[in-house]
Amino acid sequence: MALKIAFSGKGGAGKTTLSALAIKYFIDKKITPVLAVDADPNANLNIALGLDFNETIADIREEVLEGKVMNGETKNEFILRRLNEILVEGENVDLLVMGRPESQGCYCAVNHLLREYLSKLARQYKVVVTDTEAGMEHLSRRTTDDLDVLFIVANPDPVSLRAAIRIQDIAGKLKLKIKDKYLILNRLNSTPPLFLKEMMESARLNFIGSIPEDLQVSMCVQEGKAVLGLVSTRAGEALYKIIEERLKKKSD
């Protein structure tokens, strides 16, 4: 059974970069293959991974609704074939891009089939890492469900942290299947200031650690280069410790 991890948070918190660094961790530790899922309509995870894509799951969804299933194929067979066609294969990591949100029409049956086959596809991997849509819409659409770990990423400021609190609250109210939820404070070079500690304690956020500012990673992102190409970074080392702490808790 694949280890399923997702990164969520307010726009600009750095969840895409941390998703890519998490994938790098599993590749470095030879816990492969990894399936990367870009669930953000503003897809950027491929850039951080150094991969290109042409089609998305949204394209498959629209094709089914428009009746483009080929003669002799059932919807199930069509979806399975198309999922394999749009899967971008990399070295030790493959990528699936969710694409744009749903337009008008009834998507319930199609989404059910897609979830079913995505679940089957995930079984072929040791780890699935999902970069979610910024904000909280992905929670209500249940694209972030059935997870081992949800890392909620926030910058060390009240606005970003309040967004993290809302994500945790909504996930709880919707009773999503998430085993563990942890808060990561990104771009923080020291211990959290007192006012942030008080906010976290009041909201009962499970703070697992912080990621320091990292010029090397920032320059890589700004220049549109693959994070996977970096050898060693302060941000990566901090995230590695966080992931290893979670994996240790799971094995205890």
User: Who wins on pLDDT, 27 or 141?
Assistant: 27
Mean pLDDT calculated for residue range 214-235: 92
User: Who wins on pLDDT, 1 or 54?
Assistant: 54
Model confidence at 142: pLDDT above 50: no
- Which of the four pLDDT bands, split at 50, 70 and 90, describes residue 79? confident
Model confidence at 251: pLDDT above 70: no
Q: What pLDDT shows up at residue 160?
A: 95
β-pairing, 127-131 vs 34-38, is parallel
User: Who wins on pLDDT, 175 or 59?
Assistant: 59
Task: Please tell me the CATH code under which domain 3-251 is placed.
Answer: 3.40.50.300
Question: Where are the chain's structural domains?
Answer: 3-251
Q: What pLDDT shows up at residue 137?
A: 52
Q: What pLDDT shows up at residue 140?
A: 44
Mean pLDDT calculated for residue range 120-135: 87
Q: Determine the Cα–Cα distance for residues 81 and 64; give it in Å rounded to an integer.
A: 12
User: Who wins on pLDDT, 156 or 137?
Assistant: 156
- Which of the four pLDDT bands, split at 50, 70 and 90, describes residue 67? confident
For the segment 170-190, what is each residue's pLDDT rounded down to a tens digit? Answer: 888 877 788 999 999 999 999
Q: What pLDDT shows up at residue 103?
A: 58
Q: Determine the Cα–Cα distance for residues 42 and 205; give it in Å rounded to an integer.
A: 27
Sheet holding 93-97, edge to edge: 88-89, 93-97, 34-38, 127-131, 3-9, 147-154, 178-186, 207-211
Q: What pLDDT shows up at residue 110?
A: 64
Q: Write down the residue that tokens 């849509």 correspond to.
A: 133
Q: What pLDDT shows up at residue 108?
A: 64
Mean pLDDT calculated for residue range 156-170: 92
Cα-atom radius of gyration of the chain, to the nearest Å? 18
Mean pLDDT calculated for residue range 238-246: 93
Handedness of CA 114, 119, 120, 121 (dihedral sign): positive
Mean pLDDT calculated for residue range 50-67: 89
Model confidence at 104: pLDDT above 60: no
